[in-house]
Structure 1
Amino acid sequence: MHAAVITFPGSNCDRDLAVAFEAAGARVTRVWHKDTALPAGVDIVGLPGGFSFGDYLRCGAIAARAPITRALAEFAAAGGPVLGICNGFQVLVETGMLPGALLRNAGLKYICKPVALQVATAESPFTSGWAQGATITLPIAHHDGNYTADPATLDRLEAEDRIAFTYADTPNGSARGIAGVLSENRRVLGMMPHPERAIAPHQGAADGAILFRTLLDTLTPA
């Protein structure tokens, strides 16, 4: 498996994401935001957390218009899997690859702590390593993680089984406790919690490793 990890000015979890992919067995190529094409033979693209372009305008808004983003959109449109974590989720929303918006946390404070999540669906290459309804622990670290969408969009996400994770105890005001959502073809996942920061026991939890191993196993041809 060949994974690409895109770095924007202000990304600060790009190395963590590359390490997580490598620990799961992937070969990783780092991609700069000014590149205009993804490396040949890439199987999955990861968008890391951080504060791309200083979070000016809106979180992810400038990164969504970076030169590499057109290639990313083409990759996703062709069915390529994309994982956006925290700021990466915000970028995916700003590009229109995922619905909704990520607003300032309801308490207007930055939150950094481990949280309990429920796996809302096992029907995706990202979440099939768990049973639906399983409880896992991943850390969050965000100031703008309050997922918001109009009621019709929220109803559609629920009806189409496109909510990937929900918070057991919503820390940021997210509508219906949503912590991660899937695209219509279920090949793009945006999530606020950080699985790449929970891949080994010394990090306090290793539930994130399941996501990366499952993803690579699902994508690897039999």
Structure 2
Amino acid sequence: MKVSADLAAFMTRLGHSFEKPEILVRALTHSSLGSPTRPDNQRLEFLGDRVLGLSMAEALFRADRAASEGQLAPRFNALVRKETCAAVAREIDLGAVLKLGRSEMMSGGRRKEALLGDAMEAVIAAVYLDAGFEVAKALVLRLWGKRIDTVEQDARDPKTALQEWAQARGMAPPRYETLGRDGPDHAPKFRIAVQLDSGDSEEAVAGSKRQAEQAAAKALLARLEQG
């Protein structure tokens, strides 16, 4: 098939030239545009999640041969979670070539974290089907780059860590409260506060409640551990 200039530029950013570019087109087609004659990327997303998972599990297993399963699991989760996939997608401007239905396009779908994360997994599957596992794994390791080396810093879930900190001191679990929501529907901003029985609290703003809760917990935990 003839490859458009936009698609060719994306292949360059991705670092893989497709022998079968139609697979990449499918990987970039969201369900809002899918049809019986235009398959969407949901099946590829399913496959790409597994290719990504095996690539990361192997990389972590080989990188630290002394690590226990309990140490490897949170590192793995930090590397394959949707937020990380979306961050990688933004770095290669995947959103610019996403094929979306009108409603998703009008609501800012090219910037949505879930859509970007899903599409990144689908693109990984497309590379796997086009060139095999070793090529797909090499691409994943290159795109994830330093995240693999620094994953220990991101592996500890802030909400879990804060709850463990509170419980170790006989406190009730942290309480989270939504203080406000601003911005348009396609790019909302949530302000969340977290508070402990001791009265210690922090606030954070992010594009989803989960991210804001994580950020608030991280900020409070960092302050508590310093003091």
- Compute the TM-score of the two structures, normalised by the length of structure 1: 0.23
Structure with the higher fraction of residues in helix conformation: 2
Which is strand-richer, 1 or 2?
A: 1
TM-score (ref. length: structure 2): 0.23
